Structure 1
């Protein structure tokens, strides 16, 4: 596969990763703000599916195509911007993996509250607080990686 094809795949994966992540966060947060356990449970069900179908594969393709591009270009992994992007990719993963679990937890707690007619429990609100705060370093890291990919600082 030629460099331009791998680069195209890399750009498509980054677009899918960023767009899906932002969309998931937007819809999950809006559902949370409504405070309706039924809406939250339904939205979180879709969010968990979207992460499994789109985000997770895009993460794998993103890392693989990025490493493939460095190989095709003969770039060592210790070039500043490559190393910085890999570190930020790791930061994103450290934030995203707990977020996956938190989304499942929020979904289950909201579904339980919706089924029983009970209010959302404190555990739900804790999960969403962690979900919210873990999203910020991941989002900022994605933006930083985009900057690194475009600018390629020495």
Structure 2
């Protein structure tokens, strides 16, 4: 019989992979579509990005929270430890970047629908795309730092 710890750890790691992979994939495809200046390609990509965030990223983030807290409980880690406070702070930073990004994605999708009908990419779309990118950079960097913290535990967990 597999121990609950290993099941929780597997689920937690799988969710981390989904968050990182989906985030990197979404960023790549949005960047490439934007660079193409092809209104049709941009519209299709923005639609898929919004869908992908709801189908993959959002559930994986929820699973990360639940499985992470469960692992903390199983391992007896302190919720006041430097490690947990750093993890919680980074997770909060990611959320503070990600929530506006979600709102921006809906606006980008709406603009892309208009832009494809007019067969040109609007200045507003380009401006929002820059903001989307600027918010994504610290969020993705924080995800990478979280991965280091998760694997190496360089700070005290007690």
Gapped regions of structure 1 (runs ≥ 5)? none
What is the deviation of 1:116? 2.7
Q: Which residue of 1 aligns with 2:43?
A: 41
1:6 and 2:21 matched: no
**In 2: Cα distance, 1:132 partner to 1:103 partner:** 11
Matched, 1:124 2:125: yes
Deviations 1:105-141 (A, max 9, x none): 1111111011133x22221111101001001100100
Distance in 2 of aligned mates of 1:70 and 1:16: 21
What is the match of residue 140 of structure 2?
139
Give the structure-1-normalised TM-score: 0.95
Structure 2 residue aligned with 1:66, among 62, 65, 68? 68
Per-residue CA deviations over 1:28-69 (Å, capped at 9, x if unaligned) read 110000011111000110010000000000000001100110
Give the Cα separation in 2 of the matches to 1:78 and 1:30: 42
- C-alpha distance in 1 between matches for 2:123 and 2:117: 17
CA RMSD of aligned residues (A): 1.1
Distance 2:122 2:94 in 1: 28
Q: 2 CA distance for matches of 1:102 and 1:36?
A: 19
Moved segments of 4+, more than 4 Å: none
